[in-house]
């Protein structure tokens, strides 16, 4: 028997009982819709939470430090130990390398690394007209434009270039400077006072020169932008300070943190050694591999991805759970298919007998019924996806109206990716094939003589 | 009878049914031979086993013991799949109650067995039309069974039985639901197919008077045994 003929015959049978077919397909639709709705809610929720991090640009950055002395104390805390172990260098402590310029070059040479820059914070005194405050200025690389807290700059803009005398300030800081409109601060000149070494480089490397002396240096910057820390951008705190200046300028300043004797001593002995550096990788999925290589080099490496590992597992569990709940309706729907097919076979017993009498084989009969079941599944599945999508839209609309009333940004809570469409229809097909296989087998095994006697 | 011309041969054929604890001997040792082109009448009262014998020959049922050869095959040894091939290719069945599929047109009913034989659609439709013309139903292709008279329905069934060009036609009380005039016409059609196309016809009927006008040879069954034979 030709396959297309089998399909035609199956379609004809379905048309003959159009109401029953439609109701059964509707049952499958509702099953698939609830499954798709549940999973798409899980996917949407995950996208809301994980996606925010991805867009923040922090998923592809790794923070590298040469050592984590403070971790020794934390280690005693339960649970923290495992996390620390994961981020620590793979080599023993004795041979830990320094995080200096040559180390940064080596990091930059690693595969899939896009950019490496040191994290520099300069303790400064900020002066603007009669305002003065001690604070820290962070060196921001040009590549941070449009990422993290710099995704949207409330007022003004990002540095035009990294060589200029431009700076950005935080909105909080701007409010501290002026009681009036913070917009008037744009273009104003900010004076940063900071400490530099008055000593020449030590004659014997490694031994700090006696009689440490520090001198005050001043540098002027123009305010080009005012940045607001956003609710979701908590992870971007590393780069967010009161005053942000271009990284290249911060490196040139060679400032001391006079409040930290360690820093002074170390910097005298080991010029341009950094406490931390940031490594940016090309794609978020490269993070883990690059992190491992950095640890192999003897550094401590930590990324947001490390923190997100547990969350990912939680989302997989959530999706599974939602999928299970959604599957209950599908199970009921599959019973509906079995019921419909069994009824259909009862009704068409005589017809099956006739088909067998004129030469239909068991396999022919089985296929006709299997195709009927899978057509119900296909139609039900397709309609179910549409139904699930529509219900998701409606709930989303309601949720967004609520969110708007609460003053929160709107969100897309239901996401139906292509894999869910294909998976939903595929699952409907599979379920209906499984549900149809028993009735189809029964139809195939019917005794033709008894079937012909059937009314 | 030349040995080459034997299309059907049974030897000690039995068929027993269990009805609860009672064993019904529907067929109790039937031995018969049918030659190519014969028109054989199987006579007997209801319960004599004549329909059971026809169902065995048709491959719709399996014998309890004995041999049942149609052409080169012992049907008792065939698989379910091979039996369906036998039903499709070797025999054409005609029933008392016509057994047409009510939701299909006359042409679709005729084409059904060709569909199972894997004949492409266009060829199927053409052949179905030709067959309907042959049985005198030109122009009735698109009618459904309930739009046709009993005689016309039986003609559709005969056309269907001829669809895959089987050598043997098996007719189980084909006139049982028809008035005597129509019954005569149907039997005349079978006779015509027997003489003009050399189809071997086995006719099961309880109407010996009617049968005697058309068949060459009769066998009368009673309680699963052949009790009388007549004709050449």
Domain that residue A416 falls in: 3-54+312-453
Find the mean pLDDT for residues A96-117. 84
Q: Percent helix, strand, coil in chain B (nearest 5)? A: 40, 30, 30
A234 — pLDDT class (breaks 50, 70, 90): very low
Closest Cβ opposite residue A351 in set B95, B101, B120: B101
Nearest to B112 by CA among B83, B138, B145: B145
Nearest to A307 by CA among A37, A26, A50: A50
The predicted structure's pLDDT at residue A287: 82
Q: Are A50 and A77 part of one and the same domain?
A: no
How buried is B146 (Cβ within 10 angstroms: 0-12 exposed, 13-18 middle, 19+ buried)? exposed
Q: Residue B177 domain-assigned? A: yes
Closest Cβ opposite residue B84 in set A12, A356, A447: A356
Q: Residue B102 domain-assigned? A: yes
Three-state DSSP state, A101? helix
Q: Residue A171 domain-assigned? A: yes
The predicted structure's pLDDT at residue A48: 80
CB A20 within 8 A of CB A344: yes
Q: Residue A307 domain-assigned? A: no
Within its chain, how far is the Cα of B94 from the centroid? 5
User: How near does any CA of chain B get to the CA of A35, in Å?
Assistant: 37
Q: Containing H/E element for B218?
A: strand B217-222
Nearest to A377 by CA among A440, A310, A424, A309: A424
Question: Which residue of chain B has the CA closest to A358?
Answer: B113
The predicted structure's pLDDT at residue A107: 87
pLDDT over 50 (residue A235): no
The residue to which tokens 């008792």 are assigned: B76
Lowest mean pLDDT of A30-39, A187-196, A281-290, B161-170, name the range.
A281-290
User: How near does any CA of chain B get to the CA of A353, in Å?
Assistant: 9
User: What CATH number does residue B174 fall under?
Assistant: 3.40.50.300
The predicted structure's pLDDT at residue A232: 40
A259: how many CB neighbours lie within 10 A of its CB? Answer: 10
Q: Are A118 and A225 part of one and the same domain?
A: yes
Strands A166-170 and A243-246: antiparallel
pLDDT over 90 (residue A350): yes
Q: Residue A59 domain-assigned? A: no
CA-based angle B191:B193:B199, to the nearest 5? 105
Q: Residue B150 domain-assigned? A: yes
Q: How many domains does chain B have?
A: 1
CB A361 within 8 A of CB B85: yes
Interface pTM, i.e. ipTM: 0.94
Tokens coding B23:
């064993």
Q: Residue B2 domain-assigned? A: no
User: How near does any CA of chain B get to the CA of A438, in Å?
Assistant: 19
Question: What Cα–Cα distance (Å) separates residue A361 from each residue in A178, A228, B62, B77?
Answer: 90, 75, 16, 17
Specify the higher pLDDT residue, A420 or B1: A420
User: How near does any CA of chain A get to the CA of B26, in Å?
Assistant: 14
CB pairs under 8 A between A and B: 70
Instruction: Look at A449 and B115 and tell me if their CB atoms are within 8 Å.
Output: no
Q: Residue A23 domain-assigned? A: yes
The predicted structure's pLDDT at residue A237: 45
Cβ contacts of residue B171 below 8 Å, gap of 6+? Answer: B93, B94, B190, B201, B202, B203, B204
Is B230 at the interface with chain A, CB within 8 A? no
Within its chain, how far is the Cα of A28 from the centroid? 33
B58: how many CB neighbours lie within 10 A of its CB? Answer: 24
pLDDT over 70 (residue A210): no
Specify the higher pLDDT residue, B46 or A235: B46
**Which residues, given as ranges, of chain B have pLDDT below 50?**
none
Q: How many domains does chain A have?
A: 2
The predicted structure's pLDDT at residue B223: 93
Question: What Cα–Cα distance (Å) separates residue A11 from each residue in A5, A16, A70, B123?
Answer: 10, 9, 72, 21
Three-state DSSP state, A116? strand
Among residues 50-69 of chain B, which lie with CB inside 8 Å of chain A? Answer: 55, 58, 60-61
In chain B, DSSP finds a helix count (H) and a strand count (E) of 7, 10
Specify the higher pLDDT residue, A164 or B23: B23
Specify the higher pLDDT residue, A163 or B63: B63
First to last CA, chain B: 10
Q: Which residues of A touch B113 (CB under 8 A)?
A: 358-359
Question: What Cα–Cα distance (Å) separates residue A293 from each residue in A84, A276, A280?
Answer: 17, 17, 13
A61 — pLDDT class (breaks 50, 70, 90): confident
Contact residues, chain A to chain B, C-beta under 8 Å = 1-2, 5, 9, 12, 16, 350-351, 353-364, 447-449, 452
Q: Are A229 and A275 part of one and the same domain?
A: yes
Instruction: Look at B116 and A355 and tell me if their CB atoms are within 8 Å.
Output: yes
The residue to which tokens 């967010």 are assigned: A240
User: How near does any CA of chain B get to the CA of A423, in Å?
Assistant: 34
pLDDT over 80 (residue A75): no
Domain that residue B123 falls in: 37-63+79-231
pTM above the 0.95 mark? no
Distance CA A158, CA A163 (A): 13
The predicted structure's pLDDT at residue A253: 79
Find the mean pLDDT for residues A60-82. 65
Q: For B164-222, what is each residue's pLDDT tens digit?
A: 999 999 999 999 999 999 999 999 999 999 999 999 999 999 988 888 899 999 999 99
Q: Residue B4 domain-assigned? A: no
% of chain A surpassing 90 pLDDT: 20
Q: Which residues of B touch A9 (CB under 8 A)?
A: 115
Question: Which residue of chain B has the CA closest to A351?
Answer: B101
Beta strands in A233-319 (DSSP E): 243-246, 276-281, 300-303
Question: Which residue of chain A has the CA closest to B163?
Answer: A358
pLDDT over 90 (residue A111): no
Three-state DSSP state, B107? helix
Distance CA B228, CA A64 (A): 107
CA-based angle A36:A39:A40, to the nearest 5? 80
Closest Cβ opposite residue A357 in set B93, B115, B163: B93
Q: Residue A325 domain-assigned? A: yes
Q: Which of A6, A11, A356, A357 to mutate to test the interface with B (most CBs of B within 10 A)?
A: A357
């Amino acid at each position: 028997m030709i396959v297309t003929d089998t399909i035609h015959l199956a379609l004809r049978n379905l048309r003959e009982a159009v109401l029953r077919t439609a109701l059964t397909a509707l049952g499958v639709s509702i099953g698939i819709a609830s499954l798709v709705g549940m999973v798409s809610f899980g996917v949407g929720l995950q996208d809301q939470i994980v996606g925010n991090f991805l867009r923040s640009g922090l998923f592809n950055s790794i923070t590298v430090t040469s050592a984590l002395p403070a971790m020794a104390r934390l280690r005693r805390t339960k649970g923290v130990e495992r996390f620390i172990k994961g981020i620590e260098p793979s080599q023993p402590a004795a041979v830990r390398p320094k995080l200096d310029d040559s180390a940064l070059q080596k990091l930059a040479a690693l595969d899939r690394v896009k950019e490496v820059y040191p994290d520099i914070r300069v303790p400064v005194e900020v002066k603007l007209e009669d305002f003065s405050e001690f604070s820290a200025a962070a060196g921001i690389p040009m590549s941070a434009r449009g990422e993290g807290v710099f995704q949207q700059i409330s007022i003004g803009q990002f540095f035009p270039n990294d060589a200029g005398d431009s700076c950005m300030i935080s909105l909080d800081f701007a409010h501290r400077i002026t009681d009036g409109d913070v917009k008037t601060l744009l273009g104003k000149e900010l004076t940063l006072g900071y400490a530099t070494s008055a000593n020449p480089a030590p004659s014997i490397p490694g031994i700090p020169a006696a009689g440490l002396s520090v001198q005050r240096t001043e540098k002027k910057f123009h305010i080009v932008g005012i940045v607001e820390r956003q609710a979701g951008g908590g992870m971007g705190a590393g780069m967010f300070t009161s005053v942000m200046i271009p990284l290249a300028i911060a490196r040139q300043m060679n400032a001391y943190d006079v409040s930290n004797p360690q820093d002074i001593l170390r910097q005298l002995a080991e010029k341009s050694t950094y406490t931390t550096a940031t490594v940016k990788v090309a794609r978020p999925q490269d993070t883990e591999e690059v992190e491992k290589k950095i640890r192999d080099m003897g550094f401590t490496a930590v990324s947001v991805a490390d923190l997100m590992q547990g969350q990912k597992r939680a989302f997989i569990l959530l999706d599974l759970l939602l999928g299970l709940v959604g599957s209950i309706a599908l199970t009921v729907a599959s019973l509906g298919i079995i019921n419909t097919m069994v009824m259909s076979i009862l009704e068409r017993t005589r017809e099956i007998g006739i088909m067998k009498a004129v030469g239909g084989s068991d396999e022919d009969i089985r296929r006709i019924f299997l195709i009927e079941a899978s057509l119900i599944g296909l139609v039900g599945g397709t309609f179910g996806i549409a139904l699930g999508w529509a219900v998701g839209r409606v709930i989303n609309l309601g949720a967004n109206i609520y969110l708007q009333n609460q003053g929160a940004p709107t969100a897309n809570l239901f996401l139906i990716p292509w894999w869910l469409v294909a998976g939903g229809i595929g699952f409907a097909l599979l379920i209906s094939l499984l549900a149809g296989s028993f009735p189809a087998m029964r139809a195939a095994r019917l005794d033709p003589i008894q079937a012909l006697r059937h009314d | 009878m030349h040995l080459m011309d034997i299309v059907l041969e049974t030897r000690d054929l039995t068929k027993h049914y269990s009805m609860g604890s009672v064993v019904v001997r529907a067929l109790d040792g039937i031995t018969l031979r049918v030659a190519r082109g014969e028109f054989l009448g199987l006579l007997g009262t209801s319960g004599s086993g004549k329909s059971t014998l026809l169902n065995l020959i048709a491959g719709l049922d399996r014998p309890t013991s004995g041999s049942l050869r149609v052409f080169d095959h012992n049907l008792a040894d065939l698989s379910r799949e091979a039996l369906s091939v036998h039903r499709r290719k070797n025999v054409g069945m005609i029933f008392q109650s016509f057994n047409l599929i009510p939701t299909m047109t006359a042409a679709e009913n005729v084409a059904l067995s060709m569909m199972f034989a894997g004949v492409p659609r266009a060829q199927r439709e053409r052949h179905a039309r030709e067959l309907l013309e042959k049985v005198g139903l030109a122009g009735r292709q698109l009618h459904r069974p309930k739009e046709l008279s009993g005689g016309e329905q039986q003609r559709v069934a005969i056309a269907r039985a001829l669809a895959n060009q089987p050598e043997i036609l098996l007719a189980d009380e084909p006139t049982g639901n028809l008035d005597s005039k129509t019954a005569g016409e149907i039997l005349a059609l079978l006779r015509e197919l027997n003489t003009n196309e050399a189809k071997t016809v086995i006719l099961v009927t309880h109407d010996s008077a009617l049968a005697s006008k058309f068949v060459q040879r009769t066998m009368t069954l009673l309680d699963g045994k052949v009790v009388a034979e007549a004709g050449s």
